[in-house]
Structure 1
Amino acid sequence: MIGEFSPAVREWFTASFPEPTPAQSAGFARVVAGEHTLISAPTGSGKTLAAFLVAIDRLVTRDPLENSTTRVLYISPLRALAFDVEKNLRAPIVGISHAAERLGTAFREPLVAMRTGDTSARDRQRMLRNPPDILITTPESLYLMLTSSARSTLAHVDTVIIDEIHAMAATKRGAHLALSLERLEEVTLSSPQRIGLSATQRPLEEVARFLGGMRDGAPRPVAIVDAGARKAMHLEVVVPVEDMGELGKVTHELRSGPATAAAVERRTSIWPSITPRILDLIQQHRSTIIFCNARRAAERLAAQLNELATDLGIAEGELVKAHHGSLAREQRIIIEDRLKRGDLRAIVATSSLELGIDMGAVDLVVQVESPGAVSRGMQRIGRAGHAVGEPSTGKVFPKHRHDLLEVAVVARRMLDADIESTRYLRNPLDVLAQHVVAHVAMHPDLKVESLAAMVRRCANFAEISDEVLHNVLDLLAGRYPSEEFRDLRPRIVWDRIAGTLRARDGAQRLAVTNGGTIPDRGLFGVFLPDGTRVGELDEEMVYETRPGETFILGASTWRIEDVSFDRVIVNPAPGEPGKMPFWHGDRLGRPLELGRAVGAFLRELRETSSTSSDAAETMLVERHCLDALAAKNLLAYVNEQVESTGSLPDDRTVVIERFRDEIGDWRICIHSPFGTPVHAPWAIALERRLLDRLGIPVETMWGDDGIVLRLPEAIDRLPIDELMIDPDELTEVLVNAVPQTSLFAARFRECAARALLLPRRRPDQRTPLWQQRQKAADLLAVAAKYPTFPILLETSRECLQDVFDVPALRDILTQLRSRAIRMVSVDTPKASPFAQSLLFNWIAAYMYEGDAPLAERRAAALALDRDLLDDLLGSEELRELLDAEVLAEVELELQCVVEGRRARNTDEVHDLLRRIGDLTGDEVSLRSEVDVAVA
């Protein structure tokens, strides 16, 4: 395949690499043929070069006198990744130019430029005057270009490369990008070739449909290059304490002070044991990335590692730095470069380093706490050994015993590359509304049918009905009363006679200044006095902070000099203690596939340990990568649970545990491994059902491992049957219950902002989160009067389809009803070990429950238009639940022609005729066990 390239490209490649990687060999062939192509391969497989080299070859072999214009568009989900790719393109371009010089062939060096949210106005103007051959950008910047005069520079784009496409496919950001790609088709002279680069995913056909979109009502053909061979991984799950069961227990220490000595209550923690072990690993390796699941945890661990290294005399100053999305991009780049140069031995990161940024010579990845998903774990551990064919080495440190349980399953599935399935979103109306305003603003007198055709080319909206689309146009054209809420005023004009759309004044500016899908959390920017950006802080933390106080950000200490309306001014305060920052964010729940795997693992572990504890320990060490202490701790945890409740929750068993808490109230724990997307709707439905049927206000909390209910004092017992929801009534119950939750109110605020209904007054200033909440509550009060209001429908769709896994819950409830999944009930004198884990989450959830904003706890009962909602949700999931053979059996039963359903006497023949209707004598005989004539 290398022989297909021009001489200079061929010479450079053969001199630089011994041979193409599998991803490159298969990818080159498809890309050279001009096919839309999805290349799936693990980190370090050379797939980025597989996409770029063909495009570079086309560029360097064109006529040197041809005017420069953008031909290649590279889209990255991360600005840091875009910056990384820009630097990495220099090597092949310079190398090919030298090869061309040696060969004496004509060569025109492609111009490469990057446009992101950080690009200055001067640089953007320069790109307009002299467009680069290769433009590296982000989804948001592409949207802005398409909604401005810059779109003219994209007319000659013939190749679009989308990196890390798997990170966007299942998100609203992905739907936003997919619409931008279809809008790009309206701008370019010919349809560009699409090349998607993905980590190992399944099903690849779903990602390919998302990448290709539709043409003439059918998916565009996309060639799938599956080079997703398992990357060699060396994994170990490490527990640094003898007994994790002792963690969290109360200890009392005497603390002396100016008055009398006082006993201070503390709880034992695993951190004093984890930190020195990680420090040892850092010293044993050349370069280490440590992943945490939260920004606060990353800051805390980085500070602890630096403090311990200083105390032990290992390092002077900073051995490690924290790296996360709340650090300014410039700060993150400095930290990344220091790690690559060897100035830093380690980085403590969140998902900010999860994607394909080349971190050079990283030879170890440490994951603290379960990554929560197999794909996420593989992505993170894959940061180590980034070179082609190099194995990845990873150590995982669970934080507590139930975390250890999930980690054991994730580790095995990582080795098997048994990742979760991906599904792109269907019909996100808030994203659609934003793009409609932007697109109409750039296309005066746009035909409605032209808009509909463009929208339906996007895979996410391929099946959107005219009724739903027109409902969105109604919203944007001013159908709803702007006198009650100003930002409901029309953004477009819909001429229904001519069938055309045009933008109103200010629509284009509105779309540009409020574009994108990432929710505005009202964060404060942190700046040095000279204007250099350091990062950002949560609004709530800033309100609790005063000038003169110090805090830690990026593992560095900063002193607050001033707090203004939208920024915090700081100066460095090296060596001073500072308080840890905190941020509020969403935590993803356990995917159903992983939940079922955890259940199956528990069942297998109990069966094995009941026969031989040694065999169970060997299984954990050899198959699940646990060290000896981890295996002993996990076995002890499971055995203690069995001793307490007599059974374990698994993929075939749900355990209901009842006990009284410290003040005598009944607690009910529903132990189940299926994950938050299943448990959240179950708990919400239970709250609503118990209130409707029994008049009982029940407090609930859910997590990945079950549900906790707290019964009011007046209720002594609750029948177990009341915990069952009829699967046939589940959707109806949720449609009525979800709009009254704080989740709905919060999601409504975010959806309304994406749909341009909560625009920022000043795009260069932050809008306080409390103001956003208040304004969203006012909008919700108006919208609740209109069952067809699109953003109400979208919020319901998002909750029921994206946040919750309602089909999975319905399936589980159906299996509980049929006894395919058994329900075991047990009363215990105190909370079992598994229940204690759930109760810890309860305390965390309710400790600050009173701080939940009123605007997001207040929600009116909504009368949603069920036909439109059903249209929006689609019927695919219901069809998948209906088995044709089962339907045939039910039909025979309802027709009373199977054994056990036939009429046995004259009364039942009478009932039969009343229920089914008129029947002939033969038809009655078929349905009766008695003589028809006698009957």
Structure 2
Amino acid sequence: MIAEALKKVGIEELNQLQKEAYGLIKKGSDVLIVAPTGSGKTEAALIPVLETIKEKNLEGIALIYVTPLRALNRDLLRRISAICDEIGLSVAVRHSDTSERERKKQSEEPPQILITTPETFQILFLGKKLKKGLKNVKFVVVDEVHELVESERGVQLAVALERLREYTKFQLIALSATVDVDKVLRFFKCKELILSPLEKKYIFKVIKPEVKEEDLELARNLMVEESFAAELRKIKEIVEEYGSALIFVNTRQTAEFLASKLKKLVPVEVHHGSLSKEVRIENEKKFLNKEIKALVCTSSMELGIDIGHVNVVIQYNSPREVVRLIQRAGRSGHRIDKVSVCYIITSSFDDLLESAVIVKKALKGELEESRIHENSLDVLANQIAGILLEKGKIEASRVYSIIKRAYPFRKLSWESFMKVVEFLDSINLITYRDGLLIPTRKTRSYFFENISMIPDEKSYPVRDVVTGKIIGVLDEKFLQTFSGELFTMKGDVWRVLSVDEEVKVSPALAEGAVPSWVGEEIPVPYEVADEVGLLRKAILAYGREYLIKNYFVNEEGAKFVEELIKEHAKKFAVPGGGEIVIEGEKEVTLNVCLGHRVNEVLGRVVALLLSARSGRNVSIEFDPYRIKFNPANCEDVARVLDELSRLSFEQFRELVVRAVSETKLFQWKFVHVAKKMGYLSKEIEVSRINVQNLVKKLMDTPIFEEAVREMFTERLDVEKAYEFVKRIKNFEIHVYQEKTPIGSVSQGSFDIVAGKREEAILDHFIQRLEEENVWIYCVNCKLRMRKKLRHLSESFCPRCKSRMLAVFSARRNPEEFSEKELFRIAELYRVHGKKAAYALCTYGIGVDTATKILSGFYPENREFFKSLLEAEKNYIRTRKFWS
């Protein structure tokens, strides 16, 4: 029966991977299946499971299928339903968007297959009828495990699986594309490993586009730099050559900016997590139906959402990690027997070398080690509450034993467990009495408010008033720092009409600011950065041909890198390998190729000690290859490194904690942990909290311990940093009192949003003012005229010849001003001419502010316009949105 059903959905026979999985799963083994995207992993897991459910006529929820993304739920429902409809099995999806009616139906008539997310999985333990139904579960499939093992969502899921084992004995099948196999086997307690028997073939090309004559005009038309215009043109050529492409970028800001420019060259849309579900589905359908040729996307498209055939993948800028590159590249040629083609378009020196190293490592199968959240205390707190809601009064020792079975908590001590229990008891979220844990009135609300382990930041839906549709969300942080009326989303420009509980917008034609979203930067691993340093040396020794032959870099890119390295080497040692370069005078750069996580540790500790010695605040900037200190001098930096090498690990770690706890990032993290552990309400706004005082007050609580642990897991590699300082005497340290070519490379991989020059922004601002409509109003004879500011030339009234002309933005009418105000405006125009009109057309500038600005001294016109732009930014920054 199953064979016939498979034929109807296009599966004529099982491939090698599916045959191997079929035997092991039928035997009852817990299995981890690791295979590239497009190899048929989902069917490899499902075919034997669905067959068993049908053969044994298993009722209730027999299979729970867990996926990290709701978008995957949609796709899976379609694929699984196609088979289940043929063989008569029931399927349903449950996640946060599932309607109350559908939830009730699932409780009354449980489906045989339930597709859900890690968060919603937790809720299955709380419904009376659903909880009973868990005894029927015989199979759990966890898809895309590489998305889960390095996050607190994975920790949450690991505990949920142990809680499920309290009800039933089930078989677990984990699915992943590219992953640290050994760690994942232990994480999910799988006894068997199935690796794809076929080796996926990849073609990688690392490119720095050459600027051609045609790019100069394109740059002018799009108001971008010539090098960026060349990149856009190259992307367009690749898309048109292959017909269908996914264009991956590393952040949503980059996705929005790149798409807004590309849309003027080729049919593309945007796909990322801050767009509404409707917009994402609509864009997926457009790609599937070939209405567009490309999707500009972030990690939202790394997973196996079915959007039809992808002929090529373009990675814009370095993918930062080997695992990420393989996952993304695998979306093209979406079958194991097809070749995946991936172009990496690079923009800078670091970017190109980093991409080259990642490609080489990908082809050699050298993947990064997974960083698991060990002993996550906020997850622990939430799971304790969840178990109490599920079980009622229960012994603390029993809760401890359930949680400790989960791999991320295998090292959890009884003391640490009880510290969290006592903390929750102290704020009345649970009660601990005589060895028993008891829920309180607050337990339920705390659990449900904090069921998501994704950091919470208040966000505002964005509604297009023309269509009435929600097009996405904006973070509170963006709205509070937004400096204009226009912004970019979905690759289009929108004008803000109002902000209250949602942001109302309408389509606009001009350029707009790109929103920023929290927590997006992908850190470059130590292993990649270290090899970039070695590659610099190899290029110096063997020339550009070494890069072209061994690292798949185009001629233009190899030439660009070689020239910079050789120019540097004329006077300076090349940093990398066994050599460190310290350079500069008041601003000192420490050139070390150690990756983001190690360089951040080093930078913060060195800056802390430099600040303590000098009595001045030393700021840092860092990327994977250099750390900048300001103010500082080379000798002090070298001296501090030497001192660090003499510390014990405990002393070094204590310095790191001190340095990190003073940062804004730590304070942001601290507030979110305080919310997740129930100390602060979810609704409280960060701006209303004195975070520094809060940190001091809670220094000895699990909240502080957890915030440090998360920083160390997600952002900092303290162990590797300590290894480096202990080996510092083995390195050759070169000190130069001037800047070097490699040390002066722009910090980190090129980011097109940050890379937008201030001058380009100013150009857009001036152009906007030029297009403003203005009233020219004679305060003497009351004559009024209206025209574009750029056409303004009047110096006296054409009717009465008076020089008292009030010129101001046509957004207001003359009747809205008092006579005194009109005279003041006319006086400004009489004295300052057209400059007064520019000032009074700037958003948020009134007569008083205009008077102050116009009285200033500006050696050139652009300085004047900069002061107007700053005044506009300041106005919006200090105004409570657009009330």
- 2:473 corresponds to: 536
Corresponding pairs, count: 750
Q: 1: CA distance between counterparts of 2:676 and 2:703?
A: 10
- 2:666 corresponds to: 744
1:446 and 2:440 matched:
no
1:826 and 2:804 matched:
no
Paired amino acid for 1:623: N
Paired amino acid for 1:720: A
- 2:154 corresponds to: 174
Cα distance change of structure 1 residues 732 and 779 upon mapping to structure 2, 3 Å threshold: closer
Q: Residues 176 and 516 of structure 1 are in contact (CA less than 8 Å); yes or no, is this contact kept in structure 2?
A: no
Q: CA deviation at 1:462?
A: 0.8
1:837 and 2:771 matched:
no
**Superposition pairs of residues 300-315 of structure 1, within 5 angstroms:** 300-309=257-266
- 1:205 corresponds to: 182
Q: CA deviation at 1:29?
A: 1.9
Q: 2: CA distance between counterparts of 1:738 and 1:546?
A: 30
Q: 2: CA distance between counterparts of 1:276 and 1:49?
A: 40
Aligned to 1:604, which of 538, 548, 556? 538
Q: CA deviation at 1:113?
A: 0.8
Aligned to 1:138, which of 117, 130, 133? 117
Q: 2: CA distance between counterparts of 1:779 and 1:229?
A: 55
Q: CA deviation at 1:182?
A: 1.6
Deviations 1:768-823 (A, max 9, x none): 4534xx27556434213xx2x11111122222344211111111112213x1x332
- 2:687 corresponds to: 770
1:812 and 2:730 matched:
no
Q: CA deviation at 1:371?
A: 0.7
Paired amino acid for 1:595: A
Aligned to 2:135, which of 155, 164, 174? 155
Paired amino acid for 2:429: R
SS in 2 for 1:509: helix
Paired amino acid for 2:459: L
- 1:589 corresponds to: 523
Deviations 1:865-894 (A, max 9, x none): xxxxxxxxxxxxxxxxxxxxxxxxxxxxxx
Cα distance change of structure 1 residues 744 and 542 upon mapping to structure 2, 3 Å threshold: closer
SS in 2 for 1:273: helix
Q: 2: CA distance between counterparts of 1:814 and 1:833?
A: 25
Cα distance change of structure 1 residues 558 and 733 upon mapping to structure 2, 3 Å threshold: closer
Q: 2: CA distance between counterparts of 1:269 and 1:721?
A: 43
Cα distance change of structure 1 residues 779 and 503 upon mapping to structure 2, 3 Å threshold: farther
SS in 2 for 1:837: coil
- 2:451 corresponds to: 515
- 1:494 corresponds to: 432
**Superposition pairs of residues 57-68 of structure 1, within 5 angstroms:** 57-63=51-57, 68=59
Gap runs ≥5 in structure 1? 1-6, 98-106, 213-220, 256-265, 310-318, 479-488, 610-616, 661-665, 762-766, 852-935
Q: CA deviation at 1:696?
A: 5.1
1:720 and 2:634 matched:
no
TM-score (norm 2): 0.80
Deviations 1:612-661 (A, max 9, x none): xxxxx33222221111111111111221222242x22223222212x24x
Paired amino acid for 1:222: K
Q: Residues 510 and 759 of structure 1 are in contact (CA less than 8 Å); yes or no, is this contact kept in structure 2?
A: no
Q: Residues 402 and 834 of structure 1 are in contact (CA less than 8 Å); yes or no, is this contact kept in structure 2?
A: no
- 2:106 corresponds to: 127
- 1:29 corresponds to: 23
Q: 1: CA distance between counterparts of 2:637 and 2:460?
A: 50
Aligned to 1:290, which of 243, 247, 261? 247
Q: 2: CA distance between counterparts of 1:53 and 1:444?
A: 38
**Superposition pairs of residues 516-915 of structure 1, within 5 angstroms:** 516-528=452-464, 532-543=469-480, 549-564=485-500, 566-571=501-506, 573=507, 578-609=512-543, 617-645=544-572, 647-657=573-583, 659-660=584-585, 666-693=586-613, 695=615, 697-711=617-631, 718=636, 720-724=638-642, 725-726=644-645, 727-728=647-648, 729-761=651-683, 768-771=685-688, 774=689, 779-784=694-699, 787=700, 789-817=701-729, 819=730, 821-828=731-738, 830-838=739-747
1:504 and 2:421 matched:
no
TM-score (norm 1): 0.75
Q: 2: CA distance between counterparts of 1:625 and 1:476?
A: 55
Q: 2: CA distance between counterparts of 1:230 and 1:752?
A: 47
Q: CA deviation at 1:606?
A: 2.4
SS in 1 for 2:375: coil
SS in 1 for 2:148: helix
Deviations 1:661-697 (A, max 9, x none): xxxxx22211111111001111111122234455454
Deviations 1:747-785 (A, max 9, x none): 212222222222324xxxxx64534xx27556434213x
SS in 2 for 1:224: strand
- 1:355 corresponds to: 303
Deviations 1:553-572 (A, max 9, x none): 212344444321x311335x
> RMSD value over aligned CA atoms?
3.1
**Superposition pairs of residues 31-46 of structure 1, within 5 angstroms:** 31-46=25-40
Q: 2: CA distance between counterparts of 1:840 and 1:591?
A: 13
Paired amino acid for 2:522: L
Cα distance change of structure 1 residues 240 and 513 upon mapping to structure 2, 3 Å threshold: same
Q: Residues 26 and 225 of structure 1 are in contact (CA less than 8 Å); yes or no, is this contact kept in structure 2?
A: yes
Q: CA deviation at 1:167?
A: 1.3
Q: CA deviation at 1:401?
A: 1.9
Cα distance change of structure 1 residues 146 and 419 upon mapping to structure 2, 3 Å threshold: same
Cα distance change of structure 1 residues 381 and 644 upon mapping to structure 2, 3 Å threshold: farther
Paired amino acid for 1:452: Y
**Superposition pairs of residues 221-300 of structure 1, within 5 angstroms:** 222-227=191-196, 230-241=199-210, 268-300=225-257
Q: CA deviation at 1:211?
A: 1.1
Q: CA deviation at 1:545?
A: 6.2
Q: 2: CA distance between counterparts of 1:435 and 1:351?
A: 28
Cα distance change of structure 1 residues 302 and 268 upon mapping to structure 2, 3 Å threshold: closer
Cα distance change of structure 1 residues 697 and 776 upon mapping to structure 2, 3 Å threshold: closer
Cα distance change of structure 1 residues 410 and 545 upon mapping to structure 2, 3 Å threshold: closer
Gap runs ≥5 in structure 2? 759-869, 875-883
Q: 2: CA distance between counterparts of 1:522 and 1:237?
A: 39
Q: Residues 286 and 361 of structure 1 are in contact (CA less than 8 Å); yes or no, is this contact kept in structure 2?
A: no
Q: CA deviation at 1:283?
A: 1.6
Paired amino acid for 2:440: R
Alignment identity in percent? 27
Cα distance change of structure 1 residues 148 and 642 upon mapping to structure 2, 3 Å threshold: farther
Q: 2: CA distance between counterparts of 1:836 and 1:577?
A: 28
Paired amino acid for 2:116: T
Cα distance change of structure 1 residues 503 and 340 upon mapping to structure 2, 3 Å threshold: same
Cα distance change of structure 1 residues 401 and 328 upon mapping to structure 2, 3 Å threshold: same
Cα distance change of structure 1 residues 570 and 622 upon mapping to structure 2, 3 Å threshold: same
SS in 1 for 2:727: helix
- 2:274 corresponds to: 326
**Superposition pairs of residues 473-484 of structure 1, within 5 angstroms:** 473-478=421-426
Paired amino acid for 1:738: V
Q: 2: CA distance between counterparts of 1:589 and 1:699?
A: 20
Paired amino acid for 1:681: V
SS in 1 for 2:536: helix
Paired amino acid for 2:328: R
Q: CA deviation at 1:14?
A: 11
SS in 2 for 1:630: helix
Q: CA deviation at 1:341?
A: 1.2
SS in 1 for 2:703: helix
Q: CA deviation at 1:723?
A: 3.0
Paired amino acid for 2:183: E
